[in-house]
Copies of this chain bind each other. A is one copy, B any other.
Amino acid sequence: MKTKLFLFLICIFSGLFSQAQQVPLQWQEVAPGIWKATVGQPDKLNPLVAAGASPRTEALQKLGVRAFPLAQADCKAELRDGKVYLRFPLQEKEQLYGLGLQFKTVNRRGQVLNLHMDHYGGVDNGRSHAPVPFYVSSNGYGVLINSARYITVYAGTAVRVDSEHPPKVYDRNTSSEWSSQPYSDAVEILVPTTGTEVYVFAGKNSMEVVQRYNLLNGGGVLPPKWGLGFTHRMPTLSTAAQVRAEAASFEEHGFPLDFIGLEPGWQTKAYPCTFEWDKSRFPDPAGLAKELKGKGVRLNLWLNPYLSPASSLYEKAKPLSGTHTVWNGLVPDLTLAPAQELYKNLFKAQHLDIGISGYKIDEVDGYDKWIWPDVATFPSGTTAEQMRQVFGVLMQRATADWFKEKGVRTYGLVRASNAGASSLPYVIYNDYYDHHDFITALCNSSFIGVLWTPEVRASKTAEEWLRRMQSACFSPMAMLNAWADGTKPWSFPEVEAQVKEVALLRMQLLPYLYNTFSQYYMEGKPPVRAMNLVEGFSYQDKAEKTALDGTNNPYQVALKKDVKDQFMLGDYLLVAPMFAGQTDRKVILPAGKWYDFYTGEFVGDGGIITATPGLNKIPVYVKDGGIIPMIPPVLHTPAPGEQLALEIRHYGEAESSANLYDDDGESFSYQQGKYMQYQLTAKKDKNGKWNGKVAVDNKQGLKSGYKEIKWRFM
């Protein structure tokens, strides 16, 4: 009894101790259809501050005014135990998307995610290269928690005793209706700090919500044209001579190549790095860069940001770095201007000024035991946790700013990103290597303002090699990463022709791809789009009952189905990758008529079809009225001023018109309006004969990149 009394007293104490404090959420409209509320005392550093983008106000205005999308009374905030607690309502049929770059699932409802910057570990638990605290609802709204902390999101799992919409109670002994996951009417969120900003986004549909999110964050990135070509990464420890030889053999094989990546070996030291050229392997980096650029090939440099004691910067960097090392390298406090300056001067002199096109920023996501620990401190006072969440964004932003100052666009690779990064010119990659899951990640990237590449490294079979290449060529970065395996596109001779065919098809589609990215910048529409963002797409993912298995499924968890193996690339192309071992696959068509991209033949009007493309092709379908502008199969993206023949394909029966964006492809002048828009219009004349019209809006009087414009009605 004594102990009980003791416990009782404890509780009184701790009761007083962790006194809860309800906080009213005061929503301020910061842009049409976007509201912000501040809870408690937010940290000074948050993902949006780290990304530092300015909203695309004009584009946001264009999207128009909308009402606050949620019942405000059901949005609650509380301060307790030094943390912020948030709750948002959930409707019965509602689905949730986003919440980080996950690899296994698309639909988040029913998941618990601890949004923690990390490599992807094989489970959708929130640990991810892009733990973006933003979710999109199928009901047309989105919520962003703008905090650089390890946020836990209960995406429709938590059930309150006092819920106004309680789930039915079943007896597991007797009812087959019993479920291990009863219905929950709320998203609940734990932000482990003294305060946070919260944003709510409205939209007429999920896509418009994502558009507002991306436009608030500066609009999506518009890469340089060359960034959308094919890229190949050299094996580690390659020499300048080997780089020249690699470029030459791509040319010989008639294989496209726009930039080559140098992996560890170009620096005097790696893990940790010096960022300075190893002259034994690269005696004349400037010369090499110049020579290759003359051949239409640029250089990208691998690095991780951890500074070697052998670096000339080491002593200067020490007071500007964290208390802990990563692989014996200093971790620069990139929230400090002097730390950025230090790196900038070195990087400019060593890389930018000799024509390096960009970076591959590795290991900024971290495996817990290799990256700085959460006990580390940084001279700015930024906590290790905050730094972990946004370090990748800070590196992206810093390097991007340096290129911008030079007036040239960059397009690189990064292993870590977060909220606010839509406009940053980086594509996420990782070590993980499951082809199916790579496509799921493509889908998920579209909800959270990041880009992802399903890079190809190696394969067990020629079939797998080809299937992976086909997917890569329909992604934001068509990359072969040979750093460890030294593979080449033609490493499997039996499929060399087909690999080349799809790589060249990627080059032919450059006008369409570039226009698609211009929509990312102008309208906030992601280039790759999960089906759940596509109008007319409706697929009820029903959960399937499962059998009891004492060890593997003791709670009879129902099986959920996601649509995660197909996606839209831009407005018109539906891409349905094939995986090794498959001879056919199901494809779910959004409402309306669809046509085979290669033949133009009608494949279906909504519903589910079965694709049997054979080994040579990746299934690609075009929406009725789809307009696809294409150039010849070039080996390098056109240089500024270069003119190429343009074939404009029109698919299906619907009359339609589309824009085709163009600009110089490498400078930032498009941000001052120096770009042109072709209006492509396909109409039938009174005899039912198809007619194509091309009008140009070219106030700036830019030189057209196209000649011999021809229509082709499929």
- Specify which chain B residues have a CB less than 8 angstroms from the CB of A160 in the assembled complex: 323-325
Cβ–Cβ < 8 Å partners of A192 in chain B: 192
Q: Note all chain B residues with C-beta closer than 8 A to A161.
A: 318, 321-325, 330
Assess the B190–A112 pair: CB atoms within 8 A: no
Contact A154 B11 (CB under 8 A): no
A555 and B383 contacting across the interface, CB-CB below 8 Å: no
Q: Is the CB of A340 closer than 8 A to any CB of chain B?
A: yes
Establish whether residues B382 and A11, one from each chain, have CB atoms under 8 Å apart when the complex forms.
Answer: yes
- What is the distance, in angstroms, from A223's C-beta to the closest C-beta of chain B? 22
Cβ of A68 under 8 Å from chain B: no
CB–CB B375/A85 < 8 A:
yes
Contacts of A337 on B, CB cut-off 8 Å? Answer: 4-5, 7-8
Q: Which residues of B contact A433 (CB under 8 A)?
A: 551
Interface size on A, residues (CB 8 A): 114
Assess whether A272 is interfacial by the CB under 8 Å rule. Answer: yes
Partner of A309, one of B19, B169, B340: B169
CA distance A377 to B17 in the complex (A): 13
Bound-state CA distance A417–B462 (Å) is 51
Stretch from A171-179, A579-587, A657-665 at the B interface: A171-179
Asked if A91 is an interface residue, CB under 8 A from chain B, the answer is no
Residues of B within 8 Å of A236, CB to CB, are 173
In the complex, chain A residues 524-562 whose Cβ is within 8 Å of any chain B Cβ: 548-551, 554-555
Of all chain B residues, which has the CB nearest A180? B370
With both chains docked as a complex, state the minimum distance between the C-beta of A118 and any C-beta of chain B, in angstroms. Answer: 11
**Within 8 Å of chain B (Cβ to Cβ): is A157?**
yes
**Cβ 8 A contact of A335, one of B7, B271, B372, B382:** B7
Contact of A328 among B19, B169, B269, B381 (CB under 8 A): B169
**Which chain A residues in 152-171 approach chain B with CB under 8 Å?**
152, 154, 157-162, 166-167, 169, 171
Q: B17, B328, B483: which contacts A182 (Cβ < 8 A)?
A: B328
Q: Does A71 belong to the interface (CB within 8 Å)?
A: no
User: Cβ of A43 < 8 Å from any Cβ of B?
Assistant: yes
- A381 lies within 8 A of B17 (CB): yes
Q: Are B550 and A485 in contact (CB under 8 A)?
A: yes
* Contact status of A4 and B180, CB under 8 A, knowing A173-B265, A194-B82, A457-B550: no
A458 interface residue per 8 A CB criterion: yes
Q: Establish whether residues A112 and B173, one from each chain, have CB atoms under 8 Å apart when the complex forms.
A: no
Find chain B residues with CB under 8 A from A367 CB.
555
Contacts of A20 in B (CB 8 A): 377
Q: When the two chains form their complex, are residues A328 and B380 in contact, meaning their CB atoms are under 8 A apart?
A: no
Give the Cβ gap from A17 to chain B, nearest Cβ, in Å: 6
The answer to whether B382 and A237 have CB atoms under 8 Å apart is no
**Residues from chain B with Cβ under 8 Å of A554 in the complex:** 431, 484
Query: Would you call B172 and A270 a contact (CB within 8 A)?
Result: yes
Interface status of A600 (Cβ within 8 A of chain B): no
Cβ of B110 and Cβ of A369 under 8 Å apart?
yes
Contact (Cβ within 8 A) A44 B13: yes
Q: Is A81 an interface residue (CB 8 A)?
A: yes
Which residue of the partner chain, among B178, B270, B340, B380, contacts A15 with CB atoms under 8 Å? Answer: B380
- The answer to whether A11 and B380 have CB atoms under 8 Å apart is yes
Knowing A181-B369, A189-B375, A431-B554, the reply to whether A328 touches B159 (Cβ < 8 A) is: yes
User: Are B484 and A548 in contact, with the CB atoms below 8 A?
Assistant: yes
Would you call B270 and A173 a contact (CB within 8 A)?
A: yes
| A237: B residues at CB distance < 8 A | 173
| Given A172-B270, A269-B173, A370-B180, A190:B327 Cβ within 8 A | no
B270 near A171: Cβ-Cβ < 8 Å: yes
Closest CB-CB distance, A436 to chain B, in whole Å? 15
B381–A15 CB distance below 8 A: yes
Contacts of A432 in B (CB 8 A): 551
Residue of B nearest to A486 (CB): B550
Q: Which residue of B lies closest to A49 (CB)?
A: B10
Would you give the shortest CB distance from A381 to chain B, in whole angstroms? 3
Q: Output the least CB separation between A509 and chain B (Å).
A: 28
Query: Residue A590 at the B interface, CB < 8 A?
Result: no
Interface residues of A in 31-49 (CB under 8 A from B): 43-45, 49
Which A462-496 residues have a C-beta within 8 angstroms of B? Answer: 481, 483-485
Q: Shortest distance in angstroms between A691's beta carbon and chain B's nearest beta carbon?
A: 50
A14 is an interface residue with CB less than 8 A from chain B: yes
Q: Give the residues from 85 to 131 in chain A that come closer than 8 angstroms, CB to CB, to chain B.
A: 85, 87, 110-112, 121, 123
Chain B residues near A110 (CB, 8 Å)? 369
Chain B residue at minimum C-beta to C-beta distance from A84: B375
Chain B neighbourhood of A401, CB < 8 A: 3
Contact B271 A383 (CB under 8 A): no
Set of chain B residues within 8 Å of A5, measured between Cβ atoms: 337
Q: Which residues of B contact A123 (CB under 8 A)?
A: 121
Q: A271-B178, A550-B457 are in contact. Are A381 and B171 (CB under 8 A)?
A: no
- Chain B residue nearest to A157 in the complex (CB): B369
Given A161-B325, A336-B8, A383-B18, does the pair A549, B373 have CB atoms closer than 8 Å? no
Q: List 23 A-B contacts (CB under 8 A).
A: A3-B52, A4-B337, A6-B52, A8-B337, A10-B45, A12-B380, A19-B381, A112-B369, A154-B375, A157-B369, A157-B373, A158-B324, A158-B372, A158-B376, A160-B325, A161-B330, A162-B323, A166-B328, A169-B310, A171-B308, A172-B270, A178-B271, A367-B555
9 nearest A-B residue pairs (beta carbon): A484-B550, A15-B381, A11-B380, A172-B271, A4-B337, A158-B373, A112-B368, A157-B369, A433-B551
Identify 6 new A-B residue pairs, CB closer than 8 A, beyond the known A81-B383, A161-B330, A432-B551: A11-B45, A11-B336, A12-B381, A161-B322, A171-B269, A171-B308
